[in-house]
């Protein structure tokens, strides 16, 4: 089934100059339960909540859509809101996961943040939701 004008009717960021905000946009899922989606962000940045030093990570979001699929530009802008925010790595996985559930309402989702080494230690954290 091709993408229809109705599928696009609620999207405000795609194709427009848009401001980064902590909100995700969605469009209808035409596949029902027969689809898994993997999203990869290889260039994520945020800051240490104590020192303000920059932290760099890759983020993977794997989910099974229910009624909606996340629109990728809105995800890019959403992730950009963390750029100057101080957040512990483990908290980031939880924050992204809970926001993803709030806006996308997937059947299940797994958010993994994989931070580069800092002080000789690299941290990966995974948050899971099974609705």
Q: 55 catalytic, yes or no?
A: yes
The larger pLDDT score, comparing residue 26 to residue 18, is at 26
Looking at the predicted structure, is the pLDDT value of residue 131 above 90?
Answer: no
The better pLDDT of the pair 120, 2 is held by 120
Which residue among 55, 84, 95, 99 is the active-site one?
55
Residue 4 lies in a domain: no
C-alpha separations of 111 from 21, 22, 79, 114 in Å: 19, 16, 13, 10
**CATH number of the domain where residue 108 is located:** 3.30.1130.10
* Of 81, 66, 83, 79, residue with least CA distance to 26: 66
Instruction: Please indicate, yes or no, if residue 3 is contained in any of the structural domains.
Output: no
Q: Is residue 55 part of a domain?
A: yes
47 assigned to some structural domain: yes
Which pLDDT belongs to residue 108?
96
Q: Please report the beta strands in the chain, taking only residues with DSSP state E, as ranges in sequence order.
A: 26-28, 37-47, 54-64, 68-70, 108-115, 124-130
How is residue 28 written in tokens?
């209808």
Angle CA 13–90–73, to nearest 5: 10
- The residues near 32 (Cβ < 8 Å, ≥ 6 apart) are none
For residues 7 and 23, the model is more confident at: 23
Domain total of the chain:
1
pLDDT 10s digits, 53-72: 999 999 999 999 999 999 99
* 124 catalytically annotated: no
Given 48, 84, 95, 99, the catalytic residue: 48
Q: Which domain holds residue 63?
A: 26-130
pLDDT at residue 20, rounded to an integer: 84
116 domain residue, yes or no: yes
Task: With cut-offs at 50, 70 and 90, classify the pLDDT of residue 118.
Answer: confident
């Amino acid at each position: 089934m091709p993408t229809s004008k109705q599928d696009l009717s609620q999207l405000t960021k795609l194709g427009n100059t848009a401001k980064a905000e902590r909100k995700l946009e969605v469009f209808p899922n035409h596949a029902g339960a027969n689809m898994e989606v993997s999203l990869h962000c290889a260039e994520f940045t945020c800051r240490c909540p104590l020192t303000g030093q920059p932290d760099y990570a890759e983020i993977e979001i794997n989910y099974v859509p229910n009624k909606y699929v996340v629109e990728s530009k809105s995800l890019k802008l959403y992730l950009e809101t963390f750029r100057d925010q101080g957040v512990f790595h483990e908290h980031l996985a939880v924050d992204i996961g809970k926001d993803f559930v709030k806006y996308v309402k997937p059947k299940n989702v797994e958010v993994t943040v994989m931070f580069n080494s800092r002080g000789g230690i690299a941290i990966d954290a995974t948050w899971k939701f099974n609705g």
